[in-house]
Amino acid sequence: MPDISLTSLVLLCLAAAAAGWIDAVVGGGGLLLLPALLLGLPQASAAHVLGTNKAIAIVGTSGAAITYVRKAPVPVKTAVRIGLAALLGSMGGAFFAAGISSDVLRPVIMVVLLAVAAFVLLRPGFGTASGGVASRSVTRTRTITAILLVGGGIGFYDGLFGPGTGTFLVLALTAVLHLDLLTASATAKIVNVCTNGGALAMFAYQGTVLWKLAALLAVFNLAGGMLGARMALRKGSEFVRGVLLTVVLTLVAKLAFDQWSG
């Protein structure tokens, strides 16, 4: 366990739970957890922050995926195919992440946060439709596109940086495979487990995971993820939009202050 104050540890536990909840409902829990780790572990390298984030996130994502598969219609075969490509892509991204510094990581995360905030603001219906667009027949070309673009491309991004991956997966799966929002979210969780697993394997191999801290925060992330999945299945995710926007904009402001005041 790194040297960290009790206050910071409590805040990280709360951030892990909230991240698991947000990730399960609309994706993008890393938008909260990764910046929180950067703020709570200022002395840690970017690689250690990224590796620890993956060790935490895979637990919550797995819990949410299991909850969804039990309750929602999920194209498991397609999800696994995309997931395998995502696993390889995330391992490649994690390999290159070892050379990234926190000074580079913070601005990148701020750009991603602002992009997601702009999208949510410009698309008021995002994540709120009940049932969404009905799934249509999917051609072989679209399936291959999903494997390469959604799996390999977003998987590489997840291993390299990570924040917003769940949201990007939901958007891409909806656009490419014509899945409704709930099915896309459920499918994204299976793919996200694979991306987290591939990246975590590489980070573990490189020795950049703070395992004791990750184990503690993973418990809270799991609880948040399973609760979020149940809430999404029961009453949709309209209530999350305001929370997500508030969190995103607050984190952008804090990261910007730390970046330029330092």
Residue 35: which pLDDT band, with cuts at 50, 70 and 90? Answer: confident
The pLDDT assigned to 211 comes to 95
CA distance 243 to 26: 11
pLDDT tens digits, one per residue of 160-188: 877 778 778 887 888 788 777 778 888 88
Closest of 191, 211, 91 to residue 150, by C-alpha: 191
Residue 237: which pLDDT band, with cuts at 50, 70 and 90? Answer: low
* All residues at 6 or more sequence positions from 111 whose CB lies less than 8 Å from its CB, including other chains: none
Phi-psi region of 203 (alpha: psi -120 to 50; beta: other; left: phi over 0): alpha
Q: What is the pTM of this model?
A: 0.76
Q: Where are the domains of the chain?
A: 6-261
**Buried b or exposed e, range 72-87, using 16+ CB within 10 angstroms:** bebbeebbebbbbbbb
Contact between 199 and 162 (Cβ < 8 Å): yes
pLDDT tens digits, one per residue of 113-143: 788 778 777 877 655 554 443 344 567 787 8
Indicate the average pLDDT of the chain.
82
